[in-house]
Amino acid sequence: MTELAINGGTPSKTKPFPAWPQYDQREQQALIDVLESRKWWRTEGTCVTKFEQEFAAFHGAKHGIAITNGTHALEVALAALGVVPGDEVIVPDSTFVATASSVLFAGAMPVMVDICRDTECIDPDLVEAAITPRTKGIIPVHLGGHPADLDRLTEIASRHGLFLLEDCAHAHGSEWNGKKVGTHSVAGTFSFQSSKLMTAGEGGIIITNDDEVERNLRSVHDCGRLPGEWFYSHFAYGSNYRLSEWQGAVLQAQLERLDQQTRLRDANGAMLDRLLAEIPGITPQARDPRCTLNGHYAYIFHFDNSEFAGISTERFTAAMNAEGIRSQAPYPEVHKLDMFQNGAYKSRLSGSQAEEEHAFLRADYPNSRRAATEDYWIPQYCLLGDEQDMEEIVAAIKKIQANAASLG
Ligand SMILES: Cc1ncc(COP(=O)(O)O)c(C=O)c1O
Of the residues 174, 191, 251, 377, which should be mutated to test ligand 1's pocket, given the most ligand atoms within 8 Å of the CB?
Answer: 191
Atom of ligand 1 lying closest to residue 203 CA: 10
DSSP symbols for 218-242: HHHHBTT--TTS-TT---SS--B-P
Cis peptide before 21 (omega within 30 of 0): yes
| Centroid of ligand 1 to alpha carbon of 11 (angstroms) | 32
Cβ of 204 less than 6 Å from ligand 1: yes
Cα 37 to middle of ligand 1, angstroms: 31
30, 47 contact by CB (below 8 A): yes
Residue among 69, 74, 96, 241 to mutate when testing ligand 1 (max atoms within 8 A of CB): 96
Residue 408 pLDDT: 79
The DSSP code sequence of 160-203 is HT-EEEEE-TT-TT-EETTEETTSSSSEEEEE--TTSSS-SSS-
Question: What would the pLDDT profile of 277-287 be if each residue is shown by its tens digit?
Answer: 999 999 999 99
Backbone phi and psi for residue 141, each to the nearest 5 degrees, phi listed first = -115, 135
Q: Strand locations in 26-121, DSSP E?
A: 63-67, 88-92, 109-113
* Residue whose C-alpha is closest to residue 143's, from 164, 174, 165: 174
Residue 98 CA to ligand 1 center (angstroms) comes to: 6
Decide if 111 contacts 280 (C-beta within 8 A).
no
Ligand 1 atom closest to Cα of 95?
A: 1
70 CB near ligand 1 (under 6 Å): yes
Residue of 181, 167, 168, 145 lying closest to 298 (CA atoms): 145
Catalytic residue numbers read 96, 167, 170, 193, 196, 225, 232, 242
Give the Cα separation of 226 and 216 in Å (integer).
8
* pLDDT of amino acid 375: 98
* pLDDT < 70 positions in the chain: 1
One-character DSSP codes across 260-317: HHHHHHHHHHHHHHHHHTTSTTEEEPP--TTEEE---SEEEEEE-GGGTTT--HHHHH
Rounded Cα–Cα distance for residues 13 and 298 (Å): 19
- CA 191, CA 297: separation in Å to the nearest integer? 11
**101 in ligand 1 pocket by Cβ < 6 Å?**
no
Q: Which domains does the chain have, with CATH numbers?
A: 25-254 (3.40.640.10)
Q: How far is ligand 1, taken at its centre, from the CA of residue 237, in Å?
A: 23
3-state secondary structure of 138: strand
Residue of 243, 237, 246 lying closest to 32 (CA atoms) = 246
Determine whether the shortest distance from the Cβ of 12 to ligand 1 is under 6 A: no
State in Å: Cα 169 to ligand 1 middle: 5
From 71, 199, 251, mutation site for ligand 1 pocket: most ligand atoms within 8 A of C-beta: 71
The amino acid at 258: L
CA atoms within 13 Å, Cβ hemisphere of 201? 8
pLDDT in tens, 137-186: 999 999 999 999 999 999 999 999 999 999 999 999 999 999 999 999 99
Residues 169, 156: Cα–Cα separation, whole Å: 22
